[in-house]
Structure 1
């Protein structure tokens, strides 16, 4: 029990410290393709901060970080996130879950040489969304679609479900 409490305290402390040290880039400009590559370290830090920081913390910073991420993703020439309504089926109840989905896909693409694998991108997006949902249940509406994805991940059936939904 002491070990679990110690791990929880350590995790909370790391999250608080990470949150305090993150600064949203200011005066960024995306004009040419190379601009997007130049900002990759900041975009990775932003994506991590957005996923790790509770919806109840730093709402102004979250808005600025979301804007930076969307500005980057919108013009990034090598990453295209596909939003298929049968996969991203949680938008009606919790539209704020779209950002974690896009972050998960983008992180996957960046970590895998700008992969264009639609199945893997969707899986990474759903996994990031489910993790974010778990951490922020108190700020989100209950969502049966996300909870179904939780069960599919636990059973190892997410890929099969995504392939079915993309047909």
Structure 2
């Protein structure tokens, strides 16, 4: 009984660290629609981990998690991302923010199977903002700072919708 309590006392503090790992399938086979659907919850968990984990905490695992997310979003037949150039420009100073942007879009699309691309882009921008604010190693970016100001003024959604309309009109 003493050994059981000792084991629990040792493992209990480590439990949050064990559950906080991203789900990155090592031998993940993604070919069919069902393959991609099978990994949706793993993708969401990985997105959450990428959002919560500082870039320098575990760079190797961060890279693997990002690669898994990018591989999944590039191949999934259920989600089509339309990246607007002004939004992609938000990652030019901090390229690791692209994982937050794509993750925010992807998570929104998974959780809302019928969605508007403007809403998914808005979720992507908010995820990027959250990571930018929380990341101790980010470089200051005037484009992001400008959009943070628009968010504070309550006009960010209008900006996202206007930029989306510009892109769709040019297609």
Give TM-score scaled by structure 2 length. 0.81
Is the CA contact 1:126–1:149 (under 8 Å) kept in the aligned structure 2? no
Larger CA deviation: 54-63 vs 143-152: 143-152
Give the structure 2 partner of residue 9 of structure 1. Answer: none
Q: How far is the alpha carbon of 1:96 from its aligned partner?
A: 1.5
Give the structure 1 partner of residue 160 of structure 2. Answer: 162
| Equivalent residues in 2 for 1:25-44, closer than 5 Å | 25-44=25-44
Aligned residues: 152
Distance 2:54 2:35 in 1: 29
Give the structure 2 partner of residue 113 of structure 1. Answer: 113
Q: Secondary structure at the match of 1:28?
A: coil
Tell me, which stretches of 5 or more residues in structure 2 are unaligned? 1-12, 167-171
Is the CA contact 2:122–2:160 (under 8 Å) kept in the aligned structure 1? yes
Distance 2:64 2:73 in 1: 14
Distance 1:156 1:96 in 2: 26
Superposed CA offset, 1:25-60 (max 9, x none) = 211010111000011121111110011111121111
Give TM-score scaled by structure 1 length. 0.83
Distance 1:19 1:133 in 2: 24
TM-align CA RMSD: 2.0
